[in-house]
Structure 1
Amino acid sequence: MKYYSLFLVILCFNSCQYFDKPVPSEKELLQKELKSINWKEVDEYPSFVDCNKIEGKTERQQCFFQFLTELIQEKIRIDTLGTLYPELDTIQVKVTIFPNSRIQFEPLFPKDSVAYDRVKIDSILRKRLVGFPKVSPAIKRGIPVKTQFVLPVILKME
C-alpha cells in the first residue's frame, strides 16, 4: 500500500506538466482587448439633465440631439445672420463635447463656398453660442470621452 500511495504522489507531481498551458503575454492580451473595442460608438451618449430621465439609450440620444438643435436655433434666430445672408437657410455646425463637459461649436462650409464671409459667420456663432446648460460627456467603458458630431441647424423657420 505504501508503494501504491508513493506511486500516486509521484504520478500527480509529474502530471502537472500536462496541464500547463502557455499564458499569453500582457501585450497580447492588451492587443486582443483593443481589437475587440468598437471605437466608433460610445456606451452612453452625451446628455443634458432633462434627457437623463429617459430610460432608453436611443431615446436619450434623440432627446439630446433635439434639445441641442433647438437651443442652437433659438440662440441664432435672434441674430442678423438670416438678414445678412438670406440665401443661407441651413448651416452645418460641428459640435465637440470634451470629457470635462466643455462644448465647442465650429461652423462648416462647403469647400467651394465663397459667397459667405466665414470669419463674420464664425464670430457671430461664437458670440451667440454661449451659456448652454451643463452637459454630461459621453461615456466609453466608464470613462468620459471626447465626442464630435455635425448638426444641421435651420436658420429660417417659417
Structure 2
Amino acid sequence: MKQALLVICCLVLLSCNYFEKKKVYTKDILEEELQTFNWNEVDEYPTFASCDSVMSKNHKRQCFEQTLLQILNNNLAQQNIVVTEDVLDTIDLKITISKDGQFNIDSIASSAEIKRQIPRIDSLLIRCLDSLPKIYPAIKRSQQVTTQFTLPVVVKIN
C-alpha cells in the first residue's frame, strides 16, 4: 500500500509539467502562417462576368485569358495594319490586375522584326485593351489581391 501511495505521489509530482501552459505569441503564429503560404498562387484567378459559370480554377484562368485574347483580336482585326512581309511572331504582354479590378499593361515585349514591320504595335495593343468589361480581381484567402502575369499574343499577318 505504501508503495502504491509512493508511486501515485511520484506520478503527481512528475506530471505537473503536463499541465504547465506555454505562452503563445501572436507574432510567432503569424510567422508560422506566413511560411505556409504559397505567394505565387491565388485561390481564384481574375475573371470576367462571362467566366462565372466556369467552376475549376484552371478553367477560370483559361476563360479569362481567352476572353482577353478574343477582345484583343476583335479590336486588332478592325485596324488597318499593312506589312511588307508576312508576320508570325509572339508578343508578351506583362499585365497587372489590381485588387480593385483595374487593368494595366506594364510592359510589351516584342521582337525587332515586329517593331520594324508594325512600328505602332504598342499603341495599338494598349488602345485595343482600353475598354475591357468589368474585371473581378484575384482572390487569396478570401481577400482581393493584385496579380501580375504574362499574356502571350500571337501576331499573324499575311
| TM-score, L = length of structure 2 | 0.75
Following superposition, the deviation at residue 51 of structure 1 comes to: 0.6
The corresponding residue for 1:109 is 110
The corresponding residue for 1:52 is 52
RMSD of aligned Cα (Å): 2.9
| TM-score, L = length of structure 1 | 0.75
- Judged with a 3 Å threshold, the aligned counterparts in structure 2 of structure 1 residues 107 and 16 are, in CA distance, closer, same or farther, namely same
1:156 is paired with a residue of what secondary structure? Answer: strand
Distance 1:35 1:48 in 2: 31
Q: Does 1:71 align with 2:71?
A: yes
2:120 is paired with a residue of what secondary structure? Answer: helix
Letter in 2 for 1:125: L
Task: Describe the superposition over 1:16-59 as per-residue Cα deviations: whole angstroms up to 9, x where unpaired.
Answer: 66412322322211110000011010000111101111222222
Distance 2:119 2:103 in 1: 20
Structure 2: any 5+ residue segments left out of the alignment?
Answer: 1-11
**What is the count of residue pairs matched by the alignment?**
144
% identity of equivalent residues: 36
- Judged with a 3 Å threshold, the aligned counterparts in structure 2 of structure 1 residues 19 and 138 are, in CA distance, closer, same or farther, namely same
Instruction: Detail structure 1 runs of 4+ shifted over 6 Å in the superposition.
Output: none
- Judged with a 3 Å threshold, the aligned counterparts in structure 2 of structure 1 residues 82 and 103 are, in CA distance, closer, same or farther, namely farther
Q: Does 1:138 align with 2:143?
A: no
Relative to structure 2, which stretch is displaced further, 58-67 or 25-34?
58-67
Q: How does 1:1-158 map to 2 (within 5 A)?
A: 18-81=18-81, 83=83, 86-87=86-87, 89-105=89-105, 106-109=107-110, 113=112, 116=115, 120-156=120-156
Letter in 2 for 1:132: L
Structure 1: any 5+ residue segments left out of the alignment?
Answer: 1-11
CA contact (8 A) 2:88 2:157 kept: no
Task: Describe the superposition over 1:89-110 as per-residue Cα deviations: whole angstroms up to 9, x where unpaired.
Answer: 3321112111111111231235
Distance 2:34 2:23 in 1: 18
2:60 is paired with a residue of what secondary structure? Answer: helix
Distance 1:92 1:85 in 2: 21
Distance 1:27 1:79 in 2: 56
More strand by share: 2
CA contact (8 A) 1:76 1:155 kept: no
